Amino acid sequence: MYVRPLGILSHGVAGSGIRLAGGSLGFGMVEVIVRDGEGGIRRAAGPVGEVADLPALADWLDALSKPRAPFAGLALDRPAIMGIVNVTPDSFSDGGDFLDHDKAIAQGTALLEAGADILDVGGESTRPGADPVAAEEEIRRVAPVVRHFAERGAVVSIDTRHAAVMAGALEAGAAIINDVTALTGDADSLGVAVQSKAPVVLMHMRGEPRTMQTAPDYVDAPTDVYAYLAGRVAACLAAGVAPGNLCVDPGIGFGKTVEHNLAVLRHTAMYHGMGVPVLIGLSRKRFIASLSRGEEPKDRMAGSLAGALASFDQGAQIVRVHDVAETFQARAIWLALHKA
C-alpha cells in the first residue's frame, strides 16, 4: 500500500489539512494505492479526515507529516539548491567544461555566489551510455576541488558510486555521499557510509549507465521506484546509518522513459512516506527536450525551472541543478508566494 498526498496548498490555507514533511505546505486529500501480488493496482482518493483514523494509514500519515531533521547541517525549512560541478570530459550537459581543476573551482565559486546551498562534485559521468572511470582517476579529478571548497566552509557532496572515491572525498572534506546506485554499486560503499557517519543520498537507477535506457520497463514506475528506495532505506538503517543521514532521489532519467519520468514526478509527494528528505534532479535532462523542441542541454533551463518549481510544490527538500542563479530567483518568488 502507498499513500500519495493530494490537494497540496500553503499550510494554514483552508483545506490544507496536514503539514507535509513539517514544511510550509499541507495536504487535505490522499490517494491510496494498493498493489496485489499479481501486479494489479487499485487507486482511491478522498479527504484525509475520512482515513486519518484507519490503523493501516496511521504510520503513513505520520511519516508524511513529521518535520525533517537538518541534512548535513542544513535546515530544510526551505528547499535547498544543490549546484552541479562536473569534473569530467563527458557529462551530458557540460562535459569537458570544468575538467581542469582551476575551471572547476571557478565554476563552484560562481555557483556558491549565485546561491547554491550544496556543491555536488562528480568525477565520473553517469549519463546514458557512459563508460566507467577507474577510481584512481576519479579521485584525481575530484579531491582537489572538494578540498578547496571544504576548507572554505562550503557543504560539498561527492557524486560517486565507488567506495574508494567516497572515502577519498570524505577525507578531503566532503560532507555528503551522493550515490546513483543507492550504495549497491560497490560492496564496500555501505561500510564507508556507516563508518564515516556521512549523510547519504540514495538514488534509484534501473540497470547501469551504459544500458539503463535500453527498454526500461516497470509494472508501475512510481510505486516500483518507491519500493526499491524504501528497501534501500531499510538496509541502511539496519546497517547502522542514522535516520537523519538519509535522503532519497527517485532518479529522473536513470532507466526511465519520458512517461516514467512524468509519472514519478507527479508522485513526488508520495516519497515523503519514507520519512526522509526528497531530492529531485531533473536539470537539463533529455526528457525536457523530448517534451519540447529537442533542445540541446544548455537550452533546457526553462524546462528545468518548471520541473524544479513543480517539485517544490510537492515538498521536495533539495533540487540538484546546473542553473543555480535562475533557480535561486525562481525559489525566491515561490517562497514569497507560499508564506503561511
Q: Is the dihedral of CA 310, 202, 141, 213 positive or negative?
A: negative
Residue with cell 526522509: 276
Whole-number Å distance between alpha carbons of 265 and 20: 16
Active-site option among 284, 285, 286, 331: 285
CA atoms within 13 Å, Cβ hemisphere of 22: 15
Round to the nearest angstrom and report the end-to-end CA distance of the chain.
32
Return the C-alpha cell found at 117: 546551498
Does the annotation count 197 as an active-site position?
Answer: no
User: In 3D, which of 263, 250, 269 has the Cα closest to residue 205?
Assistant: 250
Cα torsion 324, 326, 328, 332 to 10°: value is -170
Of the residues 256, 284, 320, 331, only one is catalytic, namely 320
Q: Which of 27, 30, 37 is nearest to 54 (CA)?
A: 30
Active-site annotation holds for 285:
yes
Answer for the pair 201, 177: CB distance below 8 angstroms, yes or no: yes
Q: How far apart are the C-alpha atoms of 277 and 283, rounded to whole Å?
A: 19
Q: Please name which of 193, 172, 171, 173 lies closest in space to residue 182, comparing C-alpha atoms.
A: 193
Q: Are 8 and 316 in contact (CB under 8 A)?
A: no
Residues with catalytic annotation? 285, 320
